[in-house]
Structure 1
Amino acid sequence: MTDTEKNLLEVNNAISNILVGGQSYKIGSRSLTRADLNTLLDMQRNLQAQLSNQDNQLMDNTYLAIFEGR
């Protein structure tokens, strides 16, 4: 597993924790606020794009057009 895959797994876990347990919570006099959901979603998209780019070749979405003569 690459570092990018590990990071994506951690980000996905953090997102899941927010979706299940909420953005913040309080136990007695102590309160905890988890990472910002929008920031985590941005990180998730970035990491997914990095993984996608690792699998693709440099010019995978490039096309060549040849216009011959007039």
Structure 2
Amino acid sequence: MVIVTIQEQLDQINQAISAIENGAQEYRIGSRSLRRPDLTILYQERRELQRQLYEENGGGVYVAVFDRR
């Protein structure tokens, strides 16, 4: 079983986005073709992975309470 880290997933998403933004929407190899996902889906997945990575690295919401006595 191969375990892929969030950072590795994010790197793969970024590579796919870059390829599509540079014109590679569809590939043909012989009689077979491979079509990459829509950019909107990739952007959404990238945002989710970035959020997960941020939380994994200690990011989050902090609340401070100042008591004036």
TM-score normalized with structure 1 length: 0.68
Higher radius of gyration, 1 or 2: 1
Structure 2, unaligned stretches of length 5 or more?
Answer: none
The corresponding residue for 2:62 is 61
Q: How does 1:27-42 map to 2 (within 5 A)?
A: 32-42=34-44
The corresponding residue for 2:9 is 7
CA shift, 1:34, in A, is 1.3
Counterpart of 1:21 in 2: which secondary structure? coil
| 49 and 33 in structure 1: CA distance in 2 versus 1, 3 angstrom threshold | same
TM-score normalized with structure 2 length: 0.69
Among all aligned residue pairs of Structure 1 and Structure 2, give the percentage whose two residues are the same amino acid. 36
Write the distance in 1 (CA, Å) between the matches of 2:40 and 2:59: 30
Write the distance in 1 (CA, Å) between the matches of 2:6 and 2:14: 12
Structure with the largest fraction of helix: 1
Deviates more, 1:11-20 or 1:21-30: 21-30
